[in-house]
């Protein structure tokens, strides 16, 4: 028998967060997230909870946890897509359809009680955080702030009546293989007459972060499932980036002194925490800081990139993206970073996919977002 328990207190939340560590114990590509980061993510310290209401459950057989799931209502999403939307997320379970069925039944019942009839996911907790179910690329570890999964998860979700909404792609780029074909170099040289690439100004960090937010919200507004970043969300993200990202890993493209595009490079924190088992105490903090600040990591991720909507269908839009990638490449090279993940990219974003593939990046992971009508 499968028993479902609603998470109601800190003890339950701790067990919810800890469950994947036992499930993935024998997976060589699993990287245990930092418990402190996961706990804060699922607390009022996550600014997304200002507009997201969520509930979590675990599935048990006897006294043993065998699965988990969340359900969410995002008021910002409802403002854009209707009052009948809802989401699921953080699905992990043993290979047992009875467990999947029980977990989704609990999540869907709760969502229906909130008026939801259109369900999408998985999100942790919305599309601007960890998104998608890994369906291809299980043979490599996840990069920072990306999800991992089991190959049987897709079947477990689909047997609950969920179908593909859209796929997200992660691209892998060896910097030694990064090249700009002559035709792109010519376009980039022409664009330099109009486009200025500059670093983020740390003296005006808060203002700069809001500029990035405005560009992101403009550039992504017509994408599948888009939900805008709030000022508080981007400000909180900025405080985290300030600690983790050097000045020369955030670049802004300007035309006539007006910010029009940006890119953010993030040292791959997962590389630095791989052997910490999710713990920062007693010595995890010191190891993490030393690996990030002194020894350095050899991989990175581009988690954020945006071009204002008005430039996306012009020649300047994709060329600004190329100029930003070029600037970030040089910053990576100074730190002996050998490879970078560009993620995530909507499968339908043919323009950006073409750019990445022409300069040497290859798609190596695929994440699926599902949908269901209740």
Q: For every residue of 308-341, which 3-state class applies, written as one string?
A: CHHHCCCCHHHHHHHHHHHHHHHHHHHCCCCEEE
| Three-state secondary structure call for residue 282 | coil
**pLDDT at residue 105 in the model:** 98
Least confident stretch, 121-125, 290-294, 304-308: 290-294
Domain pair 3-167 / 173-367, same fold:
yes
| Structure confidence at residue 267 (pLDDT) | 94
CA 21 to chain centre: 20
Tell me the pLDDT tens digit for each residue of 196-206: 999 999 999 99
pLDDT digits (tens, 9 = 90+) for 88-107: 999 999 999 999 999 999 99
What whole-number percentage of the chain has pLDDT above 90?
90
The per-residue pLDDT for 162 is: 98
pLDDT at 244 over 90: no
pLDDT-derived band of residue 215, with 50, 70 and 90 as boundaries? very high
At what angle are helices 350-358 and 316-334 packed, to 10 degrees?
A: 50
pLDDT at residue number 333:
92
Please answer whether residues 220 and 127 qualify as being in contact, where contact means their C-beta atoms are separated by less than 8 angstroms.
no
Contacts of 155 (CB under 8 A, 6+ apart): none
The CATH superfamily label for domain 173-367 reads: Gcn5-related N-acetyltransferase (GNAT) (3.40.630.30)
Average of pLDDT values for 274-302? 88
**142 φ/ψ sector (left φ>0, alpha ψ -120 to 50, else beta):** beta
pLDDT attached to residue 290: 86
Q: What span, in angstroms and rounded, lies between the C-alpha atoms of 116 and 86?
A: 5
Q: So what's the pLDDT on residue 289?
A: 82
Closest to 9 measured CA to CA, from 52, 51, 42, 46: 42
pLDDT band at 242 (very low <50, low <70, confident <90, very high): confident
* pTM of the predicted model as reported, rounded to 2 decimal places: 0.95
Q: Where does residue 213 rank: exposed (0-12), middle (13-18), buried (19+ CB within 10 A)?
A: buried
| Domain residue ranges of the chain, discontinuous segments joined by + | 3-167, 173-367
Predicted local distance difference test score (pLDDT) of residue 63: 94
Q: What is the pLDDT of residue 294?
A: 80
Give the whole-angstrom CA distance, residue 142 versus residue 29: 8
Domain at 3-167: CATH architecture? 3-Layer(aba) Sandwich (3.40)
> Is pLDDT above 90 for 139?
yes
């Amino acid at each position: 028998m499968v028993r479902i328990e609603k998470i109601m207190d800190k003890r339950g939340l701790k067990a919810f967060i800890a469950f994947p560590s036992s499930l993935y114990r024998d997976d060589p590509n699993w990287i245990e997230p930092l418990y402190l980061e996961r706990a804060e993510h699922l607390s009022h310290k996550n600014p997304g909870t200002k507009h997201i209401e969520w509930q979590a459950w675990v599935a048990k057989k006897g006294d043993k946890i065998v699965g988990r799931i969340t359900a969410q209502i995002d008021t910002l999403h409802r403002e854009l897509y209707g009052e009948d939307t809802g989401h699921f997320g953080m699905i992990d379970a043993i290979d047992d359809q009875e467990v999947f069925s029980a977990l989704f039944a609990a999540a869907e019942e709760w969502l229906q009680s909130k008026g939801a009839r259109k369900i999408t996911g998985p999100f942790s907790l919305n599309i601007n955080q960890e998104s998608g179910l890994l369906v291809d690329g299980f043979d490599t570890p996840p990069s920072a702030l990306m999800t991992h999964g089991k190959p049987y998860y897709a079947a477990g979700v689909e047997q609950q009546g969920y179908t593909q909404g859209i796929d997200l792609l992660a691209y892998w780029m060896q910097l030694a293989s990064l090249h700009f074909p002559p035709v792109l170099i010519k376009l980039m040289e022409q664009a330099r007459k109009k486009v200025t690439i500059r670093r983020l100004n740390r003296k005006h960090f808060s203002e700069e972060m809001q500029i990035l937010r405005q560009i992101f919200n403009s550039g992504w507004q017509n994408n599948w499932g888009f939900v805008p970043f709030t000022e508080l969300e981007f400000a909180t993200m900025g405080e985290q980036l300030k600690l983790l990202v050097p000045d020369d890993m955030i670049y802004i493209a300007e035309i006539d002194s007006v910010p029009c595009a940006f890119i953010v490079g993030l040292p791959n924190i997962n590389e630095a925490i791989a052997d910490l088992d999710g713990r920062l105490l007693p010595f995890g903090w010191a190891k993490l800081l030393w690996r990030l600040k002194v020894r350095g990591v050899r991989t990175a991720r581009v988690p954020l990139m945006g071009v204002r909507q008005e430039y996306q269908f012009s020649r300047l839009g994709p060329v600004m993206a190329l100029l930003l990638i070029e600037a970030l490449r040089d910053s990576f090279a100074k730190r002996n970073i050998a490879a970078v993940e560009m993620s995530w990219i909507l499968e339908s974003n043919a323009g950006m996919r073409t750019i990445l593939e022409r300069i040497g990046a290859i798609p190596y992971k695929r994440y699926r977002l599902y949908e269901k009508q209740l």
